[in-house]
Structure 1
Amino acid sequence: MKVQRPLALLLLLWSIPTLFAQGGKAFLKEGDALRKAGQLEQALEKYGLAISVDPQLVKAYQARAAVNKLLGHANAVALDLKRVAELVPEEAAYYADAALAYLEVDSPRVARALAETALLRDKNDMRALQAKVRACLKLGDLDCAGTAADAALNLKGTTDTYYLHGIVRTALRDFSTAEADLDRVLEWNHLYEPAYVAQAEVQLELAARYSGPTMRARALEKAIDRCRLALELNPQSTDALYWRSKAYAEQKEFAKAIDDISRCMALGRTDRAVYLQRARYYHGFGQHQNAVNDLNKMILDDPKDIEALLLRAECREANLEMDGALKDLENAQKEMQNDPAFGVETRKRIEESRIRIAQQVFEMNRESDAPRLTVVEPMSREGVAQVSTTLQQLKVSGHVLDRSLLKTITVNGAPAEFDPLEKDPQFFAVVPWTSAEKEIVVQAIDVYDNLTSSVLKVERSEGIAPGITLTAPALSPDRVITIEPDRESVFVEGRVNDGSLIRRIAVDGVLASYAPDQMDPEFSIKVDVKTKDRFTVQVEDQFGNASEQVYAIQRKVASAPSARPTGTSTTPSTTASRSGATWVIHIENSNYRNFPAVQADGDAAKMQKAFSNYAIARTINKKNLSKDQMDRFFNIELRDLVRTNKVGTILVWYSGHGRSVGGKAYWVPVDARKDDIYSYFNYGSLKAQMQNYSESVDKTVVVSDAAGNDASFYELTR
């Protein structure tokens, strides 16, 4: 008995492959029955079981590929047919099947490799040769396509081999041979629809080469006739409609061309080529705005499309939209800098167009209004600026409003810093300052040489620097703050003492939260100390007196972990997350003085959906706020409410007008002026500002449901 057991075990092991094979074939048979009954999904399941039981079962892969083809699962078909070829590597036909399948899923590189493998096994496999021709055409390897097409035609001249040969000769720009090949296809089979379309393309190319009007007209008529015959065979042929539209356009029949290309789109073809062609037809037909609409779609999909930018520039110029045309030309020039496809002559022609249009824009925008200049720093009243007696250099800043760009801004003759490409720019200058200086002269000149000057008389003010007192966190007499070793941020609070109002409070250059209209204000800010061993508090009053204090950061020594019995900890965690109430702030501006009224459209429902993951404790609604009211609310009122109520999460929702200027997004207060961006509310730093309200604030969210007047606003605020 002991001798028989190993023998029985050995016999069992020998029989396992046979049992698996029989199981796979059984599943295959069940799948075939389900397929015959039209139950394709169930058949797929059975074929999958057959393959899992017997991964070498070729017929199961073939059957599954056939069902997936019926279901339109092209990728699955390609994978299964490739596996069949791998399982039976000596069969060229299986590699050809796989190559054709990979062409269907737009994988020409894989298809070419499979076709070449098939041809290594049988150099006369026609299907492999044809697959190689198509793959090489898609890859742009015309030499390879030509060699394969010649081999296929030499092997056997059929409608398919002549058709492929004609397609390749067209790509190689041998249009005479291509025309002869395609004529032969149609002579043998007048129902071969793709040959009619290919012949139309060839006739268009021949028409472009003919110099005589008669030959050119005949070629265009032949192209139109070939497309007509293709459409009789297949009224849904988008290729035939596309090429006929091009032939009509060459005949200047733009209305017919537009009809054909629009039908092409209606049938589902919406690629770049059809939009570009229709834009060209609209432009040729004088419907320039319709052309711009199609080009807008293309440029939205690809902002770097040079061809679309150049054509839109032409259309905009025809519409007398010179600013837009100039911008398109500049963008096209920027994109073609590293593109060798655009030669010297093309670049020269585009630059000449840009210069011409730029000059037209310059003259069209010429105006004689002087710029409006506002000096913000130093603070002044009734033309008199208060300047500290201790200053040796004077900081002067402000902004200029003008319909045109600025050429120069100077302060006491010295050039100020500003962006010459920005409308209504801010400016900044630091000029030498002595006790003998009696006035500040700021001048601005625009590109049309319109000049404005602002002269401020100077009064000397007190020269006492503000005092800084830190109230939190606790610090040592030598200004050292001790924190936990893994602490990444510190909430800093303090007070500034000075005989005048404070213009600026910052920590390491980041503005703190404080009330700028209060004397001796308190301030607060969350300071990132992750990689710091110190931070600096900087304060400046309205007269330019400044002071700063440096505070050192010392981290506690991390205690070594002590062994402790497993079980429930009795010590509360020091890293427990902060918690606090969640408030929603809804700013609703609708009743504007200088802008159209805004209709509230389901704001409550949109807010509820946007903030559905939060447990809202309180909602504050503010309506029709002016610029001063918005500044005061976010700088003082909301800050004090958050501190008093220890709010943890602040969710802000704004609805009203919005604007984007100079790459910055603004909310529009109800008293804002259209030509004055400084009457807008710049909310770019609002999230960080609210983080500085109180140590209890853990999360801030700002949603701008604003009605912007240009696409860039949505890009900035989304």
Structure 2
Amino acid sequence: MAVISLCVYGQNGKKFFKAGNEFVESLKYEDAVAQFTSAIGAEPSNPDYYYARGRAYESLIKYSEAKADFEKALVFAPKSVDAMMGMGAVCNKMGNFEEALNYLNKASALDKRNGAIYPEKVITLIGLEKYDMALRASDTAVIIKDTPMNYYYRGIIYTKLNNDLFAKKEFEKSILKDKKLPEPRLALAELLLKTNDAKGAMDQCNEILKNDDRNTAGYMMRSKVYMKNLDYPSAINDLSKNILIEPNNPDFYLYRGKAYQEFNQHTNAINDFSKYISINPENPDAYFTRARSYEEIMNYGKAMEDYTKITVLSEFNMEARKMLKDAQDRLYELNREAVPPEISVVSPAPVNETVEIRGNNKSLLITGKIKDKSKLKSFSINNEAITTVEKGGEYEFLSNINVDGIDKITLVALDDYNNEKSISYSLIRTEITPPQVLILAPYASDDGQIYLDRNDPTLFIQGKINDESKIKSVFIDGVTASYPVGDINPSFTASIDILNKNKIIVEAEDIYGNKQVAEFSLNRTGAVISETNPMGKTWVVFIENSNYSTFASLDGPVKDVNTMQRAFANYDIHNIIWKKDLTKAEMEKFFSIELRDLIKANQVKSLLIWYAGHGKFINDVGYWIPVDAQRDDEFTYFNLSFLRGAMESYLAYLTHTLVITDACESGPSFYQAMRSDLKKRSCDDWQATQFKSSQVFSSAGYELAVDDSQFTRTFATALQNNPNACIPIEDVVAKVATSVGSNNQQKPKFGKITGLKDEDGTFFFIAK
């Protein structure tokens, strides 16, 4: 079985080998490589297959792969002269002449009469510049076989030895041997052109091209002859033909560029040099020739770029360095101008030759640009050198400069031609106080609580920013608030989402970067109350004055207060304040300051003030009598107009205000009579509960208080006997008026408080 298997593999290898050779004959080297590779796969130790694939790789100019295959062939056939010759030829093409000579010497030692070895050895020795040895090797080659290529190589050797006469004879012998061989004609044309025989050189070129009109070396040589004859259009035409034949050969662009350059068509020359550089960017000669054309069209900037590139590619190219320096000098003089640089400060933006700086900052971050036709030599701010960055034809600068203790900055720019520009700005120091944030609606307490009376998912906020400067931005929980941008101390509004939130954050920043971040907590106590009580948080204040110093003391007020407290027990009253025996000063302080602050802090929505004590009605003005009042001194009485004035400060917080006094009539300065009969009110009427009301209910007597008040008794009875969920003050007023009237007393007065806002709401007592 093993023998059969080997035979099968051997047969398969030969089949692939044969197919590969057929592809070589038809110049299909890639396909040949594939077949030889299959043959090697079938018979991996057959040296013929490696040698054949190496030759195919050599034809594809893949010299490294070819060399590897020849080495492999020598592993399996160490004395293979063909493999040694293949190694020599590939090493020659790779420039490894010493290695090539080693293999070729081994080959000639094994087969001294092999005529193919010596021509290759001649190439090797020429590459090693061992011309005498090369000549002897060529003698041997000619003795073995006088081929035209052997005479050609002898001509090359004589050319290297500067023996033009012998070289010419050898080239002519080669041509006689094969008139269509291009190599000797090309070499002879080169030799004739060197000896100024342009016509003879042209004849040789024409013969080459007559035999092969796609011979690029022939066109190249003929272009040199044309250029020798100063026929640049014809030279350029031949080089253009080469580019059409081999468009990816960079050398043709380089040579045509040089022809254009000599023909003084530098723009075309630059285009060809640029094409060459795009294909072969590491050749300093291309940059050198292109730089010369740039100089000819006076584009010294581009020329300097190329000279600079040469100094990078060829570090020790002194000629390039000298040309670079010359080009720089010429460009410097050509660009000489007398226009000073332009300096523009971008940030902070100057206004009327001043720059604003925040407060007592000791440093200032300044940015800007400098424009100039020339290069910038130096730039300084307050005599301190500042680094600039060239970008888009401008110079940009950014620097944090020290401004401690100074009131001016001076910027100085100097260009290459010593044109100078100096500008100065006065420093204006701005305020550093952060803005003050005030929430006006809904009410926000001094400790940062916003009192909500509804559980809505969104909240409309009104506020105000107090600041010495204009405001740059106002954000509430990231939402931009609306405010008049140009105003000082602007008001702001915003609708924000407060669902599942227990606080909001207001950020205010003025135009000078002073920022205030204020946090407000959301107090929903009022909202919880409002869900069951449309009147919201309701307070009752009793003023009980009984123990007078000059007026008769009373037992009635304490009874009245107790009676009303019992009546209120069945109603949704959240707090009762009972103030006893107040002096005038205490009454004024309580109503103007203490009660105001309590209402504000606790977000009271409905307030009832009940006065029980002596009263006076003098000259249409009602008075409550403090316990320290002097009987005959009206000035010592508590004027109800003062009460009204004090209550004006409550309006921002209260929805409903009701003042009840059983002492005396309140008077027209405090009381505004109703213009029609009492309305029928319902606590289901949202307008009645949510619109503001400012009401007063007072007895109509002109005398001092008595100890047994029918006014109070009837009021309490109306509340206690109410079977409904609520009772409006109008119903109580009606019952009290009926009861008092039946006892032949003057009808009590009910109306609005003069001067206080009333939107036709009313006061309801909400049953628990």
Report the TM-score, using the length of structure 2 for normalisation.
0.49
CA contact (8 A) 1:21 1:53 kept: no
Alignment of 1:52-201 (within 5 A): 52-58=41-47, 82-97=71-86, 99-100=88-89, 114-135=103-124, 140-143=127-130, 147-157=133-143, 158=146, 159-171=148-160, 174-201=163-190
Higher radius of gyration, 1 or 2: 2
Rounded to whole Å, the distance in 2 between the matches of 1:352 and 1:55 is: 62
Rounded to whole Å, the distance in 2 between the matches of 1:415 and 1:45 is: 69
CA contact (8 A) 2:276 2:286 kept: yes
Question: Residue 253 of structure 1: CA displacement?
Answer: 1.2
Q: 1:445 aligns with which of 408, 411, 414?
A: 414
Question: Residue 196 of structure 1: CA displacement?
Answer: 0.1
Rounded to whole Å, the distance in 1 between the matches of 2:58 and 2:278 is: 36
Secondary structure of the 2:268 match is helix
Distance change (3 Å), C-alpha of 1:243 and 1:22: same
Secondary structure of the 1:381 match is coil
Return the letter of the residue paired with 2:129.
Answer: L
Q: Quote the residue 1:458 is aligned against.
A: 427
Secondary structure of the 1:191 match is coil
Deviates more, 1:266-275 or 1:69-78: 69-78
Q: Quote the residue 2:7 is aligned against.
A: 22
Identify unmatched segments of 5+ residues in structure 2.
436-466, 473-479, 486-508, 516-768
Question: Residue 334 of structure 1: CA displacement?
Answer: 4.5
Rounded to whole Å, the distance in 2 between the matches of 1:242 and 1:251 is: 15
Q: Quote the residue 2:367 is aligned against.
A: 397
Rounded to whole Å, the distance in 2 between the matches of 1:303 and 1:35 is: 38
Secondary structure of the 1:425 match is strand
Distance change (3 Å), C-alpha of 1:428 and 1:108: same
Secondary structure of the 1:396 match is strand
Q: 2:383 aligns with which of 391, 413, 417?
A: 413
Secondary structure of the 1:354 match is helix
Deviates more, 1:122-131 or 1:159-168: 122-131
Identity of aligned residues (%): 21
CA contact (8 A) 2:51 2:83 kept: no
Rounded to whole Å, the distance in 2 between the matches of 1:246 and 1:263 is: 14
Question: Residue 239 of structure 1: CA displacement?
Answer: 0.7
Q: 2:323 aligns with which of 350, 353, 359?
A: 350
Structure 1, residues 603-650: CA drift from partner, whole Å, max 9, x if none? xxxxxxxxxxxxxxxxxxxxxxxxxxxxxxxxxxxxxxxxxxxxxxxx
Structure 1, residues 72-107: CA drift from partner, whole Å, max 9, x if none? 999887665554443332342442245446767998
Distance change (3 Å), C-alpha of 1:372 and 1:289: same
Secondary structure of the 2:309 match is helix
Q: Quote the residue 2:343 is aligned against.
A: 373
Alignment of 1:570-609 (within 5 A): none
Q: Quote the residue 1:625 is aligned against.
A: none
Rounded to whole Å, the distance in 1 between the matches of 2:63 and 2:74 is: 17
Return the letter of the residue paired with 2:297.
Answer: N
Rounded to whole Å, the distance in 1 between the matches of 2:5 and 2:393 is: 79
Secondary structure of the 1:126 match is coil
Q: Quote the residue 2:684 is aligned against.
A: none
Distance change (3 Å), C-alpha of 1:168 and 1:278: same
Question: Residue 242 of structure 1: CA displacement?
Answer: 0.6
Rounded to whole Å, the distance in 2 between the matches of 1:347 and 1:200 is: 33
Distance change (3 Å), C-alpha of 1:62 and 1:285: closer
Distance change (3 Å), C-alpha of 1:93 and 1:416: closer
Rounded to whole Å, the distance in 1 between the matches of 2:47 and 2:152 is: 34
Return the letter of the residue paired with 1:27.
Answer: N
Structure 1, residues 667-717: CA drift from partner, whole Å, max 9, x if none? xxxxxxxxxxxxxxxxxxxxxxxxxxxxxxxxxxxxxxxxxxxxxxxxxxx
Structure 1, residues 163-211: CA drift from partner, whole Å, max 9, x if none? 122224435655444333212222443333210011122233x33xxxx
Return the letter of the residue paired with 1:154.
Answer: T
Distance change (3 Å), C-alpha of 1:25 and 1:63: farther
Return the letter of the residue paired with 1:384.
Answer: T
Return the letter of the residue paired with 2:327.
Answer: R
Question: Residue 238 of structure 1: CA displacement?
Answer: 0.8
CA contact (8 A) 1:387 1:544 kept: no
Rounded to whole Å, the distance in 2 between the matches of 1:499 and 1:300 is: 64
Distance change (3 Å), C-alpha of 1:439 and 1:269: closer
Rounded to whole Å, the distance in 2 between the matches of 1:114 and 1:21 is: 33
Distance change (3 Å), C-alpha of 1:162 and 1:403: same
Secondary structure of the 1:323 match is helix
Question: Residue 358 of structure 1: CA displacement?
Answer: 1.6
CA contact (8 A) 1:279 1:292 kept: yes
Rounded to whole Å, the distance in 1 between the matches of 2:58 and 2:321 is: 53
Rounded to whole Å, the distance in 1 between the matches of 2:332 and 2:65 is: 60
Structure 1, residues 272-302: CA drift from partner, whole Å, max 9, x if none? 3322211111111122111111011123334
Q: Quote the residue 1:236 is aligned against.
A: 214
Rounded to whole Å, the distance in 2 between the matches of 1:328 and 1:45 is: 45
Return the letter of the residue paired with 1:281.
Answer: A
Rounded to whole Å, the distance in 1 between the matches of 2:244 and 2:386 is: 57
Rounded to whole Å, the distance in 2 between the matches of 1:334 and 1:68 is: 36
Rounded to whole Å, the distance in 1 between the matches of 2:310 and 2:38 is: 57
CA contact (8 A) 1:31 1:44 kept: no
Secondary structure of the 1:156 match is helix
CA contact (8 A) 2:219 2:239 kept: yes
Rounded to whole Å, the distance in 2 between the matches of 1:332 and 1:462 is: 59
Q: Quote the residue 2:205 is aligned against.
A: 227
Q: 2:270 aligns with which of 285, 292, 296?
A: 292
Secondary structure of the 1:404 match is coil
Rounded to whole Å, the distance in 2 between the matches of 1:420 and 1:71 is: 49
Rounded to whole Å, the distance in 2 between the matches of 1:355 and 1:71 is: 47
CA contact (8 A) 1:31 1:42 kept: no
Distance change (3 Å), C-alpha of 1:400 and 1:244: same
Return the letter of the residue paired with 1:297.
Answer: K
CA contact (8 A) 1:150 1:165 kept: no
Q: Quote the residue 1:258 is aligned against.
A: 236
RMSD: 4.6
Distance change (3 Å), C-alpha of 1:151 and 1:442: same
Rounded to whole Å, the distance in 2 between the matches of 1:57 and 1:418 is: 70
Equivalences, count: 447
Q: Residue 319 in 1 paired to residue 319 in 2?
A: no
CA contact (8 A) 2:119 2:141 kept: no
CA contact (8 A) 1:409 1:443 kept: yes
Rounded to whole Å, the distance in 1 between the matches of 2:31 and 2:302 is: 59
Question: Residue 319 of structure 1: CA displacement?
Answer: 2.4
CA contact (8 A) 2:287 2:310 kept: yes
Return the letter of the residue paired with 1:141.
Answer: L
Distance change (3 Å), C-alpha of 1:541 and 1:304: farther
Rounded to whole Å, the distance in 1 between the matches of 2:303 and 2:61 is: 46
Question: Residue 261 of structure 1: CA displacement?
Answer: 1.2
Question: Residue 121 of structure 1: CA displacement?
Answer: 2.5
CA contact (8 A) 2:307 2:320 kept: no
Question: Residue 308 of structure 1: CA displacement?
Answer: 2.0
Return the letter of the residue paired with 1:162.
Answer: Y
Alignment of 1:660-671 (within 5 A): none
Q: Quote the residue 2:255 is aligned against.
A: 277
